[in-house]
Every structure is written in structure tokens, then in C-alpha cells.
Structure 1
Amino acid sequence: MNNSLLIKYGLAGVGLDIVSSADICKHVFHTKASTKRMHTKNDNNNTEYSAVQSEPWSCTERCFPKLICCTYIHKTIANAFHPFIFIPGDGGSQVEAKINKTNSVHYICAKTSTDFFNIWLNLELLVPVVIDCWIDNIKLRYDNVTRRTSNTEGVETRIPGFGSTEPVEWLDPSHASTGAYFTDIGRLLYFTDIVNALVKLGHVRNQTLKGAPFDFRKAPNENQDYFVKLKQLVEETYESNGKTSVILLAHSMGGPMSQYFLNLQKQNWKDKYIKCLVTLSGAWGGSVKAVKVFAIGDDLGSYMLNGKVMKLEQITNPSLAWLMPSRNYWKMDEVLVQTDTKNYTLSNIEDYFMDVEYPNGWEMYQDTLPHSLNLTAPGVEVHCIYGTNVSTVEQVFYKAGSFYENPTLINGDGDGTVNRRSLEGCKTWSSKQKQKVYDLALPKVDHMGILKNVNVLEYISNLVNGL
């Protein structure tokens, strides 16, 4: 709820998370609207309005027709904000697991658990030796008959907190801090800075701000239930906020996930329920980084982790195959991996998967290829924000006889994770839909840094104030 409205109706001291139009209708006939806000600092050093000075209304003021007053206030408050739903990217949702296994990969690994426990992101599970247990619990198994993945036998996983902002604000529910160890995953803070900025404007967690976490290990073809739940969440959020259309705010892989979701909906549904789509670092055409991960894995920006160990889990995720460079943005004969005996391009990418000894990668690539080729515009207003001028891998180069060793990474333009040509994919929609498409390139802003960048926070704040 907008602070200015609370001040206007003498409710600046009422908790923002419990204020409703009914509260205002009740309060407005017992207090005078001239108020003085008292403020204090909370634990996060943010200003909180904690008290209000007010005077009784006069008889004349109380006799103002209540029906007109309350109807006006209810309509004003209900339409004060367009609610947000946050759609995270790869690695941007908490994952919980419950295990009941008959065997384990190491004697120190537990075979059973009494209940679900946090498995992503749980720093205690990423230490040497213990990480082997973690990999076995979180990796996926691919079935080339059903063309689907499943957990390791005896492992059940779930994505907690759908609809809440908590799971997309913090990757670790303990709110632990990792210092500089996990720089590529934002020190476990995900959408927190953006959520805090919106709360300062008067938004309310879990009322006008909602989270839509999903199993980021899987691509759209295995996330159909998620899209059903997301549609329901949009409709419920619309109804619970005075029939006000919703803003989808997505990061990284959440961008193409949002595009896929919107393309499932009819235009009249989008016109009614969606105000706009705001994307940060959208990976519209995949990334060469996915090619690198299939070869040597990714250490998540931490010297404490071994990329080749992390690879054992990472390459089992169909979402990684989905994020391979798209032929919409890379030429079929453009070299992605160079060796002394063979160059790998999109035209012979099957050979690459076979040569890195992961044929299931090729199968998952084929399963997800139709979804990576979809350039259909989302049919809603788009605000596409991304970083540029950050060194981003464009090609993987192996010296003679070193194919199974660490390659040299040849860099180009992008945000450090996604290549610029992929980040700019949203710009093609300008000529493919009647709704406006705005794009903003931010030099020297990296893939995760964009989530706390002051220019981004200001852009979103201005967007809210301008609606």
C-alpha cells in the first residue's frame, strides 16, 4: 500500500502488512487526516513508520456520507499498485529433498531423512566429501524412452514456498552469508534488494509482492505443472489486489520461462491479467557458457568449489541443454569449441556431446530444441534490462592433445554469463507485437549484479510510480 495514501487517511502508523480498505473506512470516521509521521529504524536500517498523531474528526466531518467515502477509498487503495510476481532464473529457487535410499555413494552419506530438508542452497552440503552425497541427491536421471528426467531412486524433491517472496529472496533459508565465496550467486541474496526497494514504496510482501519459484533443473517441457500454478497465482493475485493487473519480473532463465508461459495464454487473458513483463539479464537465445559447463562444469564463482565436481550434477539438468546457444542467434557454422582435430558448431553439436562422453546431453538438447527456437513475442508490454561490456565466454579453445584438460576461454561481449546477442533477443519483439518493448543496456553490469544495481532499482521504482 502506498505510504502517501496511508498518510492521507491517517494510517501511516498502521502495519503495512495488515492495512486494508476496511481498516481505513473504520479509521477515517474516528480520526482526523492531518497526521504527523513518527519513524524509527528497523533491524535492516530501513525507515519504518511506527506512530501517528491525530485529532478527532468533527461532527460535520463524521457526517460525510460513509458509503461514498468508503467506496472511493477502497477503489483508490485497491488500484494503488500493480502487484509483482517474481520469476527466478537457473539456481534461483530453493529446493528441498526427502530421502529413503537403500544405498549411498559414501559411508558418511545419510540414506534416510525424517522430513524434507533444504538441499539448494545449503552450504553445509557443498564441503569436500559431503558434496558427493549432495550430488547424488540433487542430480537427475534421464530416460531416453519417456524423454523425461527423475530424481535418484529414493529421493523426493519439492520447491517450497510457491507464492511467497521468501524462497526467491534468499536461496538459503537460514539467511547465511557466504562472503565472497559464492559471488556468482549473489551471496545468497536473490531478489531481496528489489523487494526491499518496492516495500519502501509501500508494497507488501506476500500481498502485492509474490514469488513463483520452480524446479530450475528442468526445461519448459518438464515444467508444465508449474505453468498451470503460475496462471492460477496470477489470477489470484489480480483478484486479491482489487482486480489490478500483474507485473511479471523475471531474471535470467526466468525470462524465457516467462515468454513460454505467456505464449501459452490467450491474448484476452494477457490483456486482462498482465500489466507488463520486466526482465533482467534474460537469456533469450541461450549462452556459450552452457557449452563450457558440459565440458568442465561451473564452480559458481567460488574457489572453494571444483567445477569438474559440480559438473556431475549440472550436466544432468535439461535446463542446461535448453540454454545451449540458439541457432536463432548463432550461425550453424560458427565455431563454439575449437580443438586441433575438430571444430564444433551447431551443425555438428551431436559430435560434441559424444566426445565429452555425455550422450544424454544430446538427447536432452533435442527434447528442448523446439522451445529454444520459439521467437514468438509475448504479447504484453516488455521492459528488457541487461548488462553489457562484461567479458563473456564466446568460444572454448583446446590446445593440441588437451581435450580432457582445462580449455582456454575466448571472451566476447555480454554480462559475464549470457552473450550480448542473446540478451538483446527481446529487441526483435518490437516489430512482432503491438505492445511496446523497452530495452535498457547497462554497461559493466554483470549477470547477478543487475539484481542490486542502483539504476535497475531506480528504473523499477520509476516504473511503479509512473503506472
Structure 2
Amino acid sequence: MLTFASGNTLDVPFVDPSLIRNEQRSSEGNLWLLPTPKVFGNTTLVVSQRHNRTYSAKNVTQFLNDIGFADGVEPYRARIRPLGEVLPESGVPVTCLVGTGVDTVESLMFGDEGFDAGPVNVVYGDDDGTVNLTSLMGPIKAWSDSPAQVLEVVELPKVSHMGILKDKSAVDQILRILDSINLNATTTTYHQSYK
């Protein structure tokens, strides 16, 4: 929501977030990062003192209008939200590697100056530094009661969203999973005769 409201530099120094905001808004893939009610419910994610309004996943379309990004309303309403509300089971065994213990934005407060000025207060949670735990655990909660869905969750303490790509414990878990798949795989050998 920060990306759409006032731009997000992704910690690149000396870059004004408002200068990259329009580019970030033009990437429709970023709409897939917005929260859905099935996962976030009524949790307050953004507060705007200027608009005297709070925003949860249930009023993201109002949020998009209030930040001046009406072009995002219809794609979110018609495509992103409906698919995010379903969270269908994958039909294959799933292992989720989840980084924890890294400060991650949980909610934002914007002051009287509005969204262009950036947040005046940020509340952090204990997640992977990019994606908060509520979002990471969304599919896990949706699938946990299904007898048909095989699901394993591996928490990786102090591992960040990008750090998971090179963290030894994460790589070890991936290798463990691959070894397990290879051990359980049924192989068929095909013989071909040539004349």
C-alpha cells in the first residue's frame, strides 16, 4: 500500500519515492501485492488523518481512489480480489519456507499533508522484511484443514525475503525436499530398439 500511496524506493538511498510512484503504479503486477479481505479481514492497514479514514483490505478500492489512483480500482476489483479470495488448493504437496524475525511494515499512518508526503508513522511486525506474516500465512491458513492438501511450513528465523535465496538453512531445506521427492519418485525406463 506504501508503493501505491507515496512510492517505495526499496531502500535505495537518495531517491525521492514520489518520483518513482507513477512507474510503480503502472506495473499491474504490483496490484497483486495488495491485501485481500480473506487474508487480512478488518485489520487496519493504513490510517489517513487528512481523509479522516482508516483502510483495511475490505476498502482497498476506496484507498486507491483516495490516493488518486482510480485506474487501479477496476483491475483490483475485477481480477486481483476475486482470485485472492479463493486461494484454491494446489493439488500437490507444498512446503512453505517462511522467513521470520525481520522488521516488516504492518501498518502506515499518513498525516494531514496526505499521501504524497509519505507516512508519518510506520508500525513494524516480526516477519521477513518485505512480506508480513499475515500475508505469508494466508494460503497456509486456508489449506490447513484440508485433508487433501499436503502442507509443510518451515520457519527460518532471522531470514529476510531476499536473504532466503542464499541462506544456508533455506538451501538445506530445499535440498531436503528435493531429496525426498527423488527418493519417492517412481521412474520408468523406456527401451527403444533400433533397426
Partner of 1:281: none
Q: Does 1:422 align with 2:132?
A: no
Q: Does 1:348 align with 2:62?
A: no
User: What amino acid does structure 1 have at the position aligned with 2:83?
Assistant: H
Partner of 2:83: 371
Cα deviation, residue 440, structure 1: 0.3
**1:413 match: secondary structure:** strand
Cα deviation, residue 305, structure 1: 3.3
Q: In the alignment, which of 400, 403, 425 is matched to residue 112 of structure 2?
A: 400
What TM-score, normalized by structure 2, do the two folds share?
0.81
**In 1, Cα distance between equivalents of 2:37 and 2:58:** 9
**In 2, Cα distance between equivalents of 1:319 and 1:305:** 22
Q: Does 1:322 align with 2:32?
A: yes
**1:300 match: secondary structure:** coil
Alignment of 1:144-183 (within 5 A): none
Runs of at least 4 residues of structure 1 off by over 4 A?
none
Cα deviation, residue 433, structure 1: 4.4
Partner of 2:192: none
**In 1, Cα distance between equivalents of 2:57 and 2:140:** 23
CA gap 1:352/1:437 in 2 versus in 1, 3 angstroms: same
Q: Indicate if the aligned counterparts of 1:379 and 1:433 stay in contact, CA closer than 8 A.
A: no
Superposed CA offset, 1:75-109 (max 9, x none) = xxxxxxxxxxxxxxxxxxxxxxxxxxxxxxxxxxx
User: What amino acid does structure 2 have at the position aligned with 1:366?
Assistant: R
Partner of 1:336: 45
**In 2, Cα distance between equivalents of 1:422 and 1:370:** 16
Partner of 1:309: 19
Higher helix fraction (1 or 2): 2
Q: Indicate if the aligned counterparts of 2:105 and 2:130 stay in contact, CA closer than 8 A.
A: yes
**1:417 match: secondary structure:** coil
**1:432 match: secondary structure:** coil
Partner of 1:190: none
User: Aligned residues, how many?
Assistant: 176
**1:315 match: secondary structure:** helix
**In 1, Cα distance between equivalents of 2:117 and 2:130:** 22
Q: Does 1:444 align with 2:155?
A: no
CA gap 1:321/1:292 in 2 versus in 1, 3 angstroms: same
**In 2, Cα distance between equivalents of 1:364 and 1:445:** 33
**1:391 match: secondary structure:** strand
**In 2, Cα distance between equivalents of 1:425 and 1:349:** 17
Structure 1: gaps (5+ residues): 1-290
Q: In the alignment, which of 412, 417, 422 is matched to residue 125 of structure 2?
A: 412
Q: Indicate if the aligned counterparts of 2:105 and 2:129 stay in contact, CA closer than 8 A.
A: yes
Q: Indicate if the aligned counterparts of 1:318 and 1:365 stay in contact, CA closer than 8 A.
A: no
**In 2, Cα distance between equivalents of 1:456 and 1:373:** 29
Q: Which segment is superposed worse, 402-411 or 350-359?
A: 402-411
Cα deviation, residue 450, structure 1: 0.4
**2:160 match: secondary structure:** coil
**In 2, Cα distance between equivalents of 1:396 and 1:379:** 36
User: What amino acid does structure 1 have at the position aligned with 2:44?
Assistant: V
Q: RMSD of the alignment, in Å?
A: 1.8
Cα deviation, residue 455, structure 1: 0.3
**1:322 match: secondary structure:** helix
Cα deviation, residue 360, structure 1: 0.6
**2:131 match: secondary structure:** coil
Give identity over the alignment, percent. Answer: 31
Q: Indicate if the aligned counterparts of 2:108 and 2:122 stay in contact, CA closer than 8 A.
A: yes
Q: Indicate if the aligned counterparts of 1:322 and 1:371 stay in contact, CA closer than 8 A.
A: no
Q: Indicate if the aligned counterparts of 2:99 and 2:128 stay in contact, CA closer than 8 A.
A: yes
Superposed CA offset, 1:38-75 (max 9, x none) = xxxxxxxxxxxxxxxxxxxxxxxxxxxxxxxxxxxxxx
Cα deviation, residue 304, structure 1: 4.6
